[in-house]
Chain A
C-alpha cells in the first residue's frame, strides 16, 4: 500500500492523502482500459432520481453535432443568434454517500496497515470516483453512534476527504444501533456505500438495509476483512483481546483454526445471503490485496451485473 507518498510527506493537503497518485493512476488506467464499463456503470448505476432538475448550473458551450437539440438555450440564441447548450454538473448523477464504520474492530490489521486504513482509502477513492462522475458526495462516520455527517454536495469532495482523514477507529462500536441511526437520518435517495467489517449477526442489519432500500437508495456493502481474521494464522498459545468488548480469551489456535475458519466462512456467506436478500451488493474486501484491485474487481462485478440486466432492480 502507498505508505510513503507525496501527501504523507506533507507536500499535499490532507484531503489528497487518499488520492494517492499511484492508486489514482492505476484507477485511471483502469478507466482507460474499461472506460466503457465504468462510464456505463456510473451512468447506469447513478441515474439521478431528479434527472434534468439539477440546479447546479455549470457553463454554456457551443452546440455540436450530436447534442440533443432540446438542450439548446433558446433565450441565449435570441440574444446572440448562436446555439449554446447549457451544462449542469449534476445533470445525470446522484447523491453518493459513504457510510464509514469507525468502530475499534476496524483498527485491526496484521499487515502494514489496518482495516481502517484500507477502508479510508477505499472510501476516498469511491468518493473521488463518484465526484468525477458528477455525483454529489457526502460521508457519514459512525461507531456506536453517528460521529460526523457531511451532506452530499457537488462541492463537498474536499470536506469528505478531510472528514475521512480525521476519522479514527478508537471507540467501541455498535453496528446495529449505529446503522439504525443512519437509516433514520437519511431521506434523500442516492447511492450508499457502507464500508465495515460487519461483526454483527447478519439478521440484525437486515432491517436497516431494507429501510435504505425502501427509500430508493442503492446500497453497496464493502465487507472489509483482514486475512488474519479469516485464517487465524497464529501459532502457539496466547490470549486474544476483543477490541470491541476488551474481553480476554486464552486460546490455542491449532485446536481452533479449522472450526474458526468454518465459522467465519459461514458468517460471510450469511452476510452475503442477507445482503442479496435486501437488494444490496456485497463486496468482500481483502485488505491483503491492493485497493485498485478491489475497485477493479468491483467495477467488473458491476459490469457483469449490468450485462445480466440487474440494474433495473437498482433504479
Chain B
C-alpha cells in the first residue's frame, strides 16, 4: 500500500511546526508572568538567556506540533494506493492489463491503424513479468481476441494478423468486453489501454458503462482532427408507373464533412455492372447534396446498383451499393361517400397517392358494392366512413378476406353501425358502438400503441414520434374482447385475435385488428377528416396511414441496402428470399424450442463464404463487410435474393470526442499519480492517462484520509486547550 498526495504543496505547512517551538521558547513563562518595576538589573545577568531556551511543556508542545502536522497532511489530500508499490510500475506483481483496440472502418484511413499498432506495441513494451495482458478488438461489437495471458507475445502475434474492418464504432462495446476481463481478474491492479480515433458517434451511440472500480484508464488517440470526409450516405428509390411499367428513379445523397474534405467529385451510377450515368458535383463547404439519376425501367428481376464517387485528389471513397427489387403494386379500392369525393376531405386519398415506399394503385368508389370478379387482383379494400356491404357484396368481400385480402374500415358517422351485422362477426374485431363526443378542450389523444405490431414498429424510437399529438373529438366505442389474464400478462400478443393496436386515453380502442383466415381486417374508430379529429393535420398522419395500408395489404417494403454490422434474423432473410413462408417462421420458433432447425438456405458473402440460414433457433447473422450478399437454397443453386451491404456511414463522421471527456465518463475520479504510473507503463507516449480508481465512491474512500486527519487535529486542539487551561499565572497583577 503506497501513499501519495493530491496537493503536496500543503506539506510546506510542516514549517508551521516551528511556530509552537518559537512560542514555547519566547513565551515559556507567560503563564507565570510577574510585573516587576524594572528589569534594568536583571538584564545584566547572563543566566536568563540560557534559561530562555529551555523547553518545559513538552506535552503541550507535542500537542501543538501534532495539530499542525495533521492539518498539513489533511490539506495535502493523501491518497492511499491500495495494492500498488511505491514505484507504481516495476515490481507490482498484480497487474491485469487489457489492450482495447478500435478496428472500425474509420481506423483504416490516414495511417490511423499504423499509429494504433505502434501505440499497442509501446503499451506491450511497458509490461513487466508477471504482468498479465489481454487483447480486445472492437468495432460495432467488442470481442476478446486474446484472453489474459502472461505472454505478451501472444498479444503481439494477434495484433500482427488484425486489420481494420468495415464495422462502425462502439467504444462502449469494447470497454464492456474489457470490463468483463477485469471483473473476472484477481489482480489487484487493473488497467485498460484504449487505442482509438475517438469518433464521437462511436461513443454517443453506444453503451456508456463505467469501468470497474480500481481500473487505471489509459487512452491513446490516433485520430486526426484535420481530416474531412465525403461519402454516399444514402440512395433513395422513387417508384413510378408509366405505361403500365414500373420505373424507379434512384437519388444518391452525398455528404461532405470537415474543412479538409474534397469539394468536387465525379459521381456515377452502375446498374448490374454497367455504368449508365455520370455527373460532376460541387459540394458545399459542409453539407450534403442529393444527386438524382435518370429513371430506370425495372426488369422482372432485381437489379444491383452501385454509386461510385471519385473525389478530387484521388481520395478513395467507398462505393454505395443498393438493390432495386421490382415491387408488386399494392392494389387498393377506396370506398368513400359523395362528400369525400367532392374534395372536401381528401386526406386519406392524398395519403395513398404519395409516392415512395410500396407503390400503390388506388381505385376510388362511392359504394361498397363488390363482386368476386371486381375483387380479383385487389389487395386492400378501404371503407372510409361508409357502411359495411351486405348481401352479395358482403359475401364477395368476406371470401376475398379469407383468401388473403385486406380490409381497412374507418367507422365514422357514415359507417352505419347497423350494417355491422352478425354476418361480419367473424371478420371484425368488434361491432362499433355509440359515438363518444369529447369536449374540444378535453379531447382524447392516443395513449397506448402496440409497438410490437408492424404498423407501429417504425415509431419505436426515443420520443418525438408525435403519436400523442393528434386530438380526437369524436370516436366510436369498440368493445374488443380483452385477452384472458390466465393466458399471460394481459398484454397483446401476435397470436391474439382480435387485437387492439392503439387506444385513446379513456381506454377506447382507436385501432383494432382481426385476421379472418389469411386476410387482415383493421378498424379505425374515428374518421380521417378534420371534423372528428385533427389527426390528418399532424405530420404523423401520413406514416401511420401508409403503415396501416401496407400492413393490411400484406405488402412489405423492400430494403434496398443494409449496413455492415447490422444483425439480421435468418428467418427474415429466408422469407425475403422466398425460402420460408412468413407464418411458418413464428410457428417454427414456437414448436422448435432451443434446438435449431434444418438449414433452409445459404448466405454467401462477397468473398464467397457461405453461412447456413436456419429459421428455427439460428443465430443472428452479422454482415461483416460491404458488398452484395446472395441467398441461395443451396450452394450451387440459383440466387433467390440479393442483399446490398454498405459500411456504416457514421464512420465517415469526422467529429471526435475528447479523450478527457471519455475518461471522465468511464473513470471520473482521475489522479495525476495514476496518470504518471500508467504513462510509465505505456512508455510515455500515450496521450491521455488517468487513474480513476474507478468510481466516485472508491476514489473518495482512498482520498478520505483527510477527514480523519482533521478530526485528529480537532481532538488534539481540544487536548491542547484543556492542558493549556490548567496553567495559572503565578503572580497577581499589581495594584
Q: Which residues of A contact B (CB under 8 A)?
A: 105-109, 114-115, 197, 199, 226, 229, 234, 236-245, 247-252, 255-256, 259-260, 263-264, 267
- Could you say which residues of chain A place their CB within 8 Å of the CB of B48? 249-252, 256
Q: Which residues of B contact A (CB under 8 A)?
A: 27-30, 32-45, 47-48, 51-52, 56, 730-731, 734-735
Is B44 a contact partner of A243 (Cβ separation < 8 A)? no
Is B38 a contact partner of A244 (Cβ separation < 8 A)? yes
For the complex with contacts A115-B37, A252-B48, 13 further pairs of A-B residues with Cβ separation under 8 Å are A108-B35, A234-B730, A237-B29, A239-B29, A240-B35, A241-B35, A242-B38, A248-B33, A249-B48, A252-B47, A255-B51, A256-B47, A259-B45
Contact of A251 among B27, B37, B51 (CB under 8 A): B51
- Could you say which residues of chain A place their CB within 8 Å of the CB of B52? 250
Complex CA–CA separation, A244 to B43 (angstroms) = 14
Complex CA–CA separation, A251 to B28 (angstroms) = 10
- Residues A243 and B34 in contact in the complex (CB < 8 Å), given A109-B734, A114-B735, A252-B47: no
Complex CA–CA separation, A146 to B317 (angstroms) = 106
Shortest CB–CB separation between residue B726 and chain A, in angstroms? Answer: 16
A-B contact pairs, 17 of them (CB 8 A): A107-B735, A108-B734, A109-B734, A239-B30, A239-B33, A240-B34, A242-B38, A243-B36, A244-B37, A244-B38, A248-B29, A250-B28, A256-B48, A260-B41, A260-B42, A263-B41, A264-B41
Is B36 a contact partner of A238 (Cβ separation < 8 A)? no
Complex CA–CA separation, A267 to B41 (angstroms) = 9
Residue of B nearest to A254 (CB): B47
- Could you say which residues of chain B place their CB within 8 Å of the CB of A236? 32, 730
- Could you say which residues of chain B place their CB within 8 Å of the CB of A260? 41-42, 45
Complex CA–CA separation, A245 to B85 (angstroms) = 60
- Could you say which residues of chain B place their CB within 8 Å of the CB of A241? 33-36
Chain A to chain B: the 3 pairs with minimum beta-carbon distance, closest first: A239-B29, A105-B37, A238-B32
- Could you say which residues of chain B place their CB within 8 Å of the CB of A259? 45
Complex CA–CA separation, A105 to B36 (angstroms) = 7
Is A243 a contact partner of B29 (Cβ separation < 8 A)? no
Is B734 a contact partner of A114 (Cβ separation < 8 A)? yes
Complex CA–CA separation, A250 to B32 (angstroms) = 9
Complex CA–CA separation, A226 to B37 (angstroms) = 10
Residue of A nearest to B36 (CB): A240
Complex CA–CA separation, A255 to B40 (angstroms) = 17
- Residues A256 and B731 in contact in the complex (CB < 8 Å), given A238-B34, A241-B35, A245-B39: no
Complex CA–CA separation, A33 to B27 (angstroms) = 55
- Could you say which residues of chain B place their CB within 8 Å of the CB of A109? 734-735
- Could you say which residues of chain A place their CB within 8 Å of the CB of B39? 240, 242, 245, 247, 249
- Could you say which residues of chain B place their CB within 8 Å of the CB of A244? 37-38
Complex CA–CA separation, A229 to B38 (angstroms) = 9
Shortest CB–CB separation between residue A170 and chain B, in angstroms? Answer: 9
- Residues A256 and B33 in contact in the complex (CB < 8 Å), given A108-B734, A236-B730, A237-B51: no
Complex CA–CA separation, A108 to B34 (angstroms) = 10
Is B45 a contact partner of A238 (Cβ separation < 8 A)? no
Residue of B nearest to A169 (CB): B735
Shortest CB–CB separation between residue A176 and chain B, in angstroms? Answer: 13
Complex CA–CA separation, A250 to B31 (angstroms) = 11
Contact of B42 among A114, A197, A249 (CB under 8 A): A249
Is A243 a contact partner of B37 (Cβ separation < 8 A)? yes
Residue of A nearest to B43 (CB): A249
Shortest CB–CB separation between residue A245 and chain B, in angstroms? Answer: 7
Is B29 a contact partner of A107 (Cβ separation < 8 A)? no
Is B41 a contact partner of A252 (Cβ separation < 8 A)? no
- Residues A243 and B33 in contact in the complex (CB < 8 Å), given A108-B734, A109-B734: no
- Could you say which residues of chain B place their CB within 8 Å of the CB of A107? 35, 734-735
| Most chain B Cβ neighbours within 10 Å, of A114, A229, A238, A247 | A238
Is B37 a contact partner of A238 (Cβ separation < 8 A)? no
Is B41 a contact partner of A238 (Cβ separation < 8 A)? no
Residue of A nearest to B44 (CB): A263
Is A239 a contact partner of B734 (Cβ separation < 8 A)? no
Contact of A237 among B27, B32, B731 (CB under 8 A): B32
Shortest CB–CB separation between residue A228 and chain B, in angstroms? Answer: 8
Is B51 a contact partner of A252 (Cβ separation < 8 A)? yes
Complex CA–CA separation, A105 to B39 (angstroms) = 10
Complex CA–CA separation, A127 to B78 (angstroms) = 77
Complex CA–CA separation, A255 to B735 (angstroms) = 28
Shortest CB–CB separation between residue A83 and chain B, in angstroms? Answer: 58
- Could you say which residues of chain B place their CB within 8 Å of the CB of A106? 37
- Could you say which residues of chain A place their CB within 8 Å of the CB of B36? 108, 229, 240-243
Complex CA–CA separation, A251 to B42 (angstroms) = 9
Is B56 a contact partner of A237 (Cβ separation < 8 A)? yes
Shortest CB–CB separation between residue B731 and chain A, in angstroms? Answer: 7
Residue of A nearest to B29 (CB): A239
Shortest CB–CB separation between residue A312 and chain B, in angstroms? Answer: 37
Shortest CB–CB separation between residue A173 and chain B, in angstroms? Answer: 10
Complex CA–CA separation, A255 to B52 (angstroms) = 13
- Could you say which residues of chain B place their CB within 8 Å of the CB of A247? 39
Is B32 a contact partner of A243 (Cβ separation < 8 A)? no
Shortest CB–CB separation between residue B29 and chain A, in angstroms? Answer: 3
| Most chain A Cβ neighbours within 10 Å, of B40, B48, B51, B734 | B734
Shortest CB–CB separation between residue B61 and chain A, in angstroms? Answer: 16
| Most chain A Cβ neighbours within 10 Å, of B35, B37, B42, B48 | B37
- Could you say which residues of chain A place their CB within 8 Å of the CB of B44? 263
Complex CA–CA separation, A238 to B48 (angstroms) = 11
Residue of B nearest to A255 (CB): B47
Complex CA–CA separation, A13 to B56 (angstroms) = 52
Shortest CB–CB separation between residue B56 and chain A, in angstroms? Answer: 7
Complex CA–CA separation, A237 to B28 (angstroms) = 9
| Most chain B Cβ neighbours within 10 Å, of A106, A107, A114, A241 | A241
